[in-house]
Amino acid sequence: MSESDPVTRPEVDGGQVQPSEAVLAPRNRIVGWATDLGTPTTLVLLRHGETQGSVGKLFSGRGGHDHELTELGRHQALLAAEAVRVRGGVEAVISSPLRRCRETAAYAAQALGLEVAVDDDLAEAAFGDWDGLTYEQVEQRWPEELGDWLGRTSVAPPGGESIEAVEARVLRARDRIVASHQGVVVLVVAHVNPIKCLVRVALDAPPAAIYRMAMSPASASEIDYYPDGTSVLRTFGVAAHLAGAASILGG
C-alpha cells in the first residue's frame, strides 16, 4: 500500500465516538474466578514488520522518516496476516497512519477480506531531534536529556513528544475503538511505544514498566476489555508465527 492509497476511517456518530465509561473506570477482577463479566472487546495488537529503522535500532517516530517495510518485513507481515486469519474472529483492522503499519495492516486486511481504517492517535512517538539516530548517538549528543527522558515519562525529547503524551492519545484511540466495536475482535497495527502504553495501562503497572518490555517486529499481543472496565492481557509479544522467516529469505 502506498502513501496515496485510499483508506477508510472509522465512522462515528456526530463526528466523535464517545469513550466507554466502563473503560475509563476499570475494576480489579480475577478473570476465571469472578462471575460472568460479559463479552469483551479484544484488541489484537500487532507491531509492524521490519524496517531499516528497526534493523538499525533507530529512533523512528512520527514526523521523521516514514520507513517502508524491508523484504523481510513484508514476509513477516504476510506470516502475521496468516496467523491472524487462522486465529479467526477479527471483524475490523485499524492502523497507525505511518507507512510501515499501513503496509503491515494491508496484508492482514487482504487475508481477512476487510478494509484498513486509520487512527492518527496510534502513531509512534515523535522523537524530535533524535529521530533517525541510534541510542548511542543520542547518548553522546544529549546525555542529560536522554537520562531525563528515561527517568520520567513526562519528559519529551528536544522537539519531540513525551511518553505521557503518547499514552494520552493512544488511550483516546483505545476508547474510540472499544466504544465502536463492542464485543468483537479488532486487529490494531501499531508501534512499540503505543502498544507498550496499552499493555502498561491494562496491567495498571507503573510508568517505568514500559522500559521493561521488548517486542520483535510483527509480534502480537492481545488485551480483552470487558464491559465493566476489567482489562486482561491475554498474550504479549507472541512471534511463533515468524519462525524461520529470516532463513526463508536467506537472512
Q: Which of 48, 67, 181, 241 is an active site residue?
A: 48
What 3-state DSSP class applies to 222? Answer: strand
List Cβ neighbours of 50 (8 Å cut-off, separation of 6 or more): 69, 70, 72, 73, 76, 217, 218
User: Of 41, 84, 67, whose CA–CA distance to 218 is shortest?
Assistant: 84
Q: Is 48 a catalytic residue?
A: yes
CB 34 within 8 A of CB 177: no
Q: Is 124 a catalytic residue?
A: yes
CB 127 within 8 A of CB 99: no
Q: Which of 50, 103, 124, 167 is an active site residue?
A: 124
User: Of 96, 43, 33, 27, whose CA–CA distance to 233 is shortest?
Assistant: 43
Enumerate the active-site residues.
48, 124
